[in-house]
Amino acid sequence: MAKQDKQPQHAPDTGHEWDGIRELTNPPPRWWMISFHASWIFCVVYFILYPSIPLVNEATKGVLGWTQIGELNEAVAENDKIRAPFLKQVAQMNGQQLLADDGMRNFAESSAKAIYGDNCAGCHGAGGEGAPGLFPVLADDDWLFGGDIDTITESIADGRMGQMPAHAEMLSPDEIGQLADMVLAASEGKATPEQFAQFNDIGCSGCHGEDAAGGVINDLGNGAANLTDRIWRFSNSREEIIRTISYGVNQEDVPNTRVAIMPAFGEKLSPEDIKMLAVKVHQFGGGK
């Protein structure tokens, strides 16, 4: 490397001169030249070690064999290693034990956040707020099949599909209208004994119970809704209630029937994931 002259007026020139301005051949400062050579040497080394030159199908691989996905997989594996002992504990504990242990409950809830977002939030909402008339609210304390941790786990793993027969051809429009009035009154606690008698005579109590309090309170396990509380599975408008009574729920070959199917996740998710999901659902605020 040529030594730079600090005083430009002393520097050698090319012999070119225009109007008294000389073209100098003063070399760049030494530190600059060192940096320059270090830079290109770094580039060559980098090109050899890492994937760099794009070819027709893919880039050169580099002798280190480094890949982005490989780095990601390593990071994921490292994370899995940290989580492994906790997941093992989840596998060994049942739902109640998970709820009772502050630390594990936190772990379960945090872990389930992503699983819930991927699998559940589409219908039930990010905070379990459901979708009015379409998908049930998970955060309230009204349950079709039961709000204890074990039943929630079962619902997620095996799915649910309640049934309600269509009554349009069995009952007259008047009778259906009277039943709708009874249901509206019952949710306010104002249904009369006469209305309850009609409810029983028609046979509604077979599924909803004589008190109309539904499958969970009467321990029937059939998913029949509680008609005496303020929560509506579908709607609290009289027309919509008439529709539900007329065409039922999940009836094949009934065109206007309501569709209410919870798919089973037992095959798709691991038992640990389902357990942690159940904890999260339980903690939305309505768990029993």
What amino acid is encoded at 33 in this protein?
Answer: M
State in Å, rounded, how far the first CA of the chain is from the last one. 81
Q: How far is the CB of 250 from other proteins (least distance, A)?
A: 23
Q: How far is the CB of 53 from other proteins (least distance, A)?
A: 31
Nearer to other proteins by Cβ, of 101 and 158: the residue is: 101
Nearer to other proteins by Cβ, of 121 and 254: the residue is: 121
Nearer to other proteins by Cβ, of 61 and 230: the residue is: 230
Place of tokens 């209630």: 241
Nearer to other proteins by Cβ, of 35 and 60: the residue is: 35
Q: How far is the CB of 161 from other proteins (least distance, A)?
A: 23
Q: How far is the CB of 162 from other proteins (least distance, A)?
A: 17
Contacts of 203 (CB under 8 A, 6+ apart): none
Q: Is residue 125 packed enough to be buried (19+ CB in 10 Å), middle (13-18) or exposed (0-12)?
A: middle
Nearer to other proteins by Cβ, of 141 and 210: the residue is: 141
Distance of CA 200 to the CA centre of its chain: 41
Q: How far is the CB of 267 from other proteins (least distance, A)?
A: 29
Q: Which residues form the interface with other proteins (CB under 8 A)?
A: 6, 99, 102, 105-106, 125-129, 137, 139-142, 226, 229-231, 283-286
Collapsing DSSP states into helix, strand and coil, what is residue 75? helix
* Separation of alpha carbons 261 and 135, rounded Å: 9
